[in-house]
Copies of this chain bind each other. A is one copy, B any other.
Amino acid sequence: MIHNFNAGPSILPQEVFKQAAEAVLNYNNSGLSILELGHRTSTFQAVMDEAIALVKELMQLDADHEVLFLHGGASTQFMQVPMNLLDDKETAAYSDTGVWGGKAIKEAKLFGKVEIVCTGKESNYTVIPKDFAVPNDAKYFHITTNETIYGCQWQKIPKTSTPLIADMSSDILSRVMDFNQFDLIYAGAQKNMGAAGVNLVVVNKNILGKIKRAIPTIMDYRNHIKEGSMLNTPPVFAVYVCMLTLRWLKSIGGVAAVEKLNIAKADLLYNEIDANPLFKGTVAKEDRSKMNVCFVMNNPDLEAAFLAFTKEKGIVGIKGHRLVGGFRASLYNALPISSVQVLVDAMKEFAALNP
């Protein structure tokens, strides 16, 4: 039994793997693999329609918010967002809460002016800034709701009068929030939503078409809205896996139900980190991510031994990112609490062996 704590691509529901494998052999008894299915067929159109409808339902989106499945990961959105929304002389406000916010800022600077209105840099990104103001004339305010590498998360979404844009790659659909408060949300699918190779974009259509720049056809959100995410050949299989994962999420009760499970998983692990004399968390308690739990050992010399110890128990993917060191356990929607229990038990056992 493998316990997969990968930061992404990461664990998906076991039933999704089964259904996806079956579809690769023979999609819905059509005699064709999902991989050889034309994207303009009514068969695939039904997949795309269901995926979009499930996102709208699970996120309770209003009629202004359009749902797109696009090529590329969040790294493409770092560029595509300012390309569509920020004119050369306009200013966008960005929050700097880690590696991913930093990458978004770098790309935005190619398209307009960027004002970094808050940063967690001084704390080495272990704290989410709370005291800051967003200029009223900013075109939009960009946040990364969860920082996958440093393991901090906005627990409270800031209220602003400017359009709010969020990179939700690593916590999309993991917790209840008013998704309509955002004017644009993007997320690489490969954590909570599906396989790598597709991007979810949710956009309030009213913010589009307000800049002077000529936008390349494939980068203009309006074209993708008009063509229902079929402007060009979509990543068919990746969209299908999203659809299956969204179906699963609905089947277990939707975002509210999975949030309860996610809180239980995170509490289980953070409680052990706080109670166990060998370990400590790296992030300020109030800003700890429920998706990516970062922790180190008080004695770093023991880390290699602990990693080997957990490997014996089938635990994979917990080596921390090199920027933080130590460990990172990613607790995405599909990870069962039983896997977290195996990790917690291993921590207890290792502590008993190393008094």
In the assembled complex, the Cα of A299 lies from the Cα of B20 at a distance in Å of: 43
Binding-face segment, A33-41, A130-138, A341-349? A33-41
* Known A-B contacts A197-B237, A232-B73; A17 and B31 likewise in contact (beta carbons under 8 Å): no
Instruction: Please indicate the chain B residues that have their CB under 8 angstroms from the CB of A234 in the complex.
Output: 196-197
Residues of A that sit less than 8 Å from B by CB: 1-2, 4, 6-12, 16-18, 20-22, 24-25, 30-33, 35-39, 71-76, 78-79, 83, 103, 106-107, 110, 188, 190, 194-198, 214, 216-219, 231-238, 241, 314, 316-317
Contact B195 A35, beta carbon cutoff 8 Å: yes
Contact B6 A38, beta carbon cutoff 8 Å: yes
In the assembled complex, the Cα of A163 lies from the Cα of B324 at a distance in Å of: 45
Identify which of A12, A24, A32, A39 gathers the most chain B CB atoms within 10 Å of its CB. Answer: A24
Name the one of B1, B7, B37, B71 contacting A72, with C-beta atoms under 8 angstroms.
B71
Number of identical protomers: 2
Chain A contact surface mostly: loop
Contact B12 A36, beta carbon cutoff 8 Å: yes
Contact A196 B79, beta carbon cutoff 8 Å: no
Contact A76 B218, beta carbon cutoff 8 Å: yes
Contact A238 B38, beta carbon cutoff 8 Å: no
Instruction: Please indicate the chain B residues that have their CB under 8 angstroms from the CB of A12 in the complex.
Output: 33, 35-36
* Known A-B contacts A217-B107, A218-B75, A236-B195; A11 and B36 likewise in contact (beta carbons under 8 Å): yes
Instruction: Please indicate the chain B residues that have their CB under 8 angstroms from the CB of A37 in the complex.
Output: 6, 9
